[in-house]
Amino acid sequence: MSDLDNLRIDLRSYLKPGRAKILLRFKTGPGEYGEGDQFLGLKTDETRSVAKKYSSLSFFDISKLLASKVHEERIVAMMILNQRLKKTDLKERKKIYDFYFENITGINNWDIVDGSAPNIVGKYLYLSKSSRNILYEMAKSENLWRRRIGVIACFYFIKEKDFSDALQIAEILLKDKEDLIQKAVGWMLREIGNRDFKEEKEFLGKFYKIMPRTMLRYAIEKFPEDKRQLYLKGMISVSVKV
């Protein structure tokens, strides 16, 4: 049997009856963002152990995993790519970065995006000093997952206290109607505030009255309660229209 066959067998060795039913946080019904996704019901540490065992899997086989309807197969593919990045040079990072975009249709749920975009996309762009235009293109995409990649990739920049792109992309996505984008933008704004409160406060002062409530709540989650209430009640003085 091939390595890919053995990987799939190992994943399914963790199966327990009924466990997949508890994954209600993934919306898999008709018309929902995860429509058609299939779950084995594995825990993160179980999936990670399989990824570690098959960290040398070929790119060809990883692409097959990313094309799978089984959620855990796509997750393990993302984990393998992250494993490869632990001991690699910029040239190899570029190969993984390119491979990621070649197989981007498989990066199609929030946990797969969040577990891959900062390290595979954001870190490569930061270290290589490459143009970040791709993130703006993603932020303007009609595809939910591409927009989420565009903003979540900025998390790596934020950790390096490089906020400009995250703030500009947040502005692009200010009126996004998708809950998963509103949460992602609010999360990135909160992470900026954790490192430079003045930067987040300045952005919120301009835009908090027009951003979706979910985005605002995520952005101000760690604020003192009295400050949170002022924002929620629209009582902060500065605002602009976009």
Query: What per-residue confidence (pLDDT) applies to 235?
Result: 81
CA 92 remoteness from chain centre:
22
Instruction: Specify whether 180 is located in the same domain as 75.
Output: no
Query: What per-residue confidence (pLDDT) applies to 26?
Result: 63
Instruction: Specify whether 189 is located in the same domain as 206.
Output: yes
Instruction: Specify whether 74 is located in the same domain as 147.
Output: no
Lowest-confidence range among 11-25, 32-46, 168-182? 11-25
| Pair of tokens at residue 56 | 């040398």
Instruction: Specify whether 81 is located in the same domain as 71.
Output: yes
Q: Buried (b) or exposed (e) across 214-240, using 16+ Cβ within 10 A? A: bbbbbbbeebeeeeeebbeeeeeeeee
Query: What per-residue confidence (pLDDT) applies to 121?
Result: 98
Enter the DSSP assignment of 70: B
| Pair of tokens at residue 197 | 């409160």
Instruction: Specify whether 215 is located in the same domain as 121.
Output: yes
Domain range enclosing 223: 89-242
Tell me which amino acid residue 17 is.
P
Instruction: Specify whether 125 is located in the same domain as 32.
Output: no
Specify the number of domains making up the chain: 2
The string of pLDDT tens digits covering residues 27-72 is 666 666 767 788 898 999 999 999 999 999 999 999 999 999 999 9
Instruction: Specify whether 183 is located in the same domain as 121.
Output: yes
The CA distance from 180 to 191, in Å, is: 17
Which helix (H) or strand (E) element contains residue 115?
Answer: none
Instruction: Specify whether 225 is located in the same domain as 236.
Output: yes
